[in-house]
């Protein structure tokens, strides 16, 4: 499955990951329609490792209320809307998607954390390269671009600590790798406490690393998540311009 990245970002920003997980699962089960009966609900409980049918009903109710699915009572089936319908409803602006395999349902939250991080990581890196090119400077060839938590937090309207936790969970699940980066500064151990007392953003980044005072820089990141352009979404977005 190739899932629009903006759909994942929407779910994170609006704290709707569980309804999204059910929606993606329903899309994986058919070509638009799925039977909505006790047997299928048991299958959902098993496949998504859910403990209570109430969880399914709560998430399904949200999907139904927001037009992500519709119910055909006569047929006893559910119609799962296409991504283009949601692109129109949520005003998607990019055609990038992420490749999702069935096994990703088992680590769904870390997976979408990694997917969104990867997208904005690549986006920030491309912007930096284009800016350097326009200014006539050398473009960076850094193997591991960085994505400060503050940068992503502002884009997604989430707290910096929340983004840091998302990044850590994506790392723990093996979807991304991070390399800690430091820059030496000319500050003695004796003066370190004085600078820390200032308690601004720079001073909070001062650490002792390898017996030297250094500034901890944003982690450099490499991702194992695969992004792909969704061609039908690309055509739709282009047609609106």
pLDDT per residue over 106-133, tens digit each?
Answer: 999 999 999 999 999 888 767 666 655 5
Phi and psi dihedrals of 177, rounded to 5? -125, 145
pTM of the model: 0.79
The two tokens of residue 222 are: 């490499």
Render each residue's pLDDT in the chain as its tens digit; 241 residues.
Answer: 999 999 999 999 999 999 999 999 999 997 788 999 999 999 999 999 999 999 999 999 999 999 999 998 888 899 999 999 999 999 999 999 999 998 899 999 999 999 999 999 888 767 666 655 566 655 554 444 678 888 889 999 999 999 999 999 999 999 998 887 777 887 877 677 777 676 656 666 777 777 777 777 767 888 899 999 999 999 999 998 7
Yes or no: say if 96 and 230 are a contact pair by the CB < 8 Å rule.
Answer: yes
Q: Which residue has the tokens 């723990």?
A: 172
Domain ranges of the chain: 1-175+224-241, 179-221
Is 182 in a helix, a strand, or coil? Answer: strand
For residue 166, the number of C-alpha atoms closer than 13 Å in the C-beta half-sphere is: 28
């Amino acid at each position: 499955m190739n899932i629009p990245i903006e759909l994942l970002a929407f779910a994170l920003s609006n704290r709707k990951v569980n309804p999204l997980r059910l929606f993606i699962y329903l899309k994986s089960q058919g070509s638009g329609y799925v039977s909505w009966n006790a047997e299928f609900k048991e299958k959902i409980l098993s496949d998504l490792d859910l403990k209570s049918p109430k969880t399914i009903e709560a998430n399904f109710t949200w999907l139904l209320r927001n037009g992500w699915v519709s119910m055909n009572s006569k047929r006893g089936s559910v119609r799962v809307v296409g991504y283009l319908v949601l692109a129109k409803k949520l005003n998607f602006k990019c055609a990038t998607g992420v490749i999702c395999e069935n096994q990703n349902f088992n680590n769904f939250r870390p997976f979408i954390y990694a997917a969104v991080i990867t997208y904005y990581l690549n986006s920030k890196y491309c912007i930096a390269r284009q800016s350097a090119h326009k200014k006539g400077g050398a473009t960076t060839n850094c193997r591991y671009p960085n994505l400060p938590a503050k940068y992503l937090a502002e884009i997604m309207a989430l707290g910096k600590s929340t983004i840091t936790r998302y990044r850590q969970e994506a790392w723990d699940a093996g979807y991304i790798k991070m390399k800690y980066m430091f820059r030496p500064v000319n500050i003695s151990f004796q003066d370190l406490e004085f600078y820390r007392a200032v308690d601004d953003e720079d001073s909070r980044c001062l650490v002792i690393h390898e017996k030297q005072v250094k500034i901890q820089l944003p982690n450099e990141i490499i991702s194992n998540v695969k992004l792909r352009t969704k061609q039908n979404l690309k055509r739709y977005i282009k047609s609106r311009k």
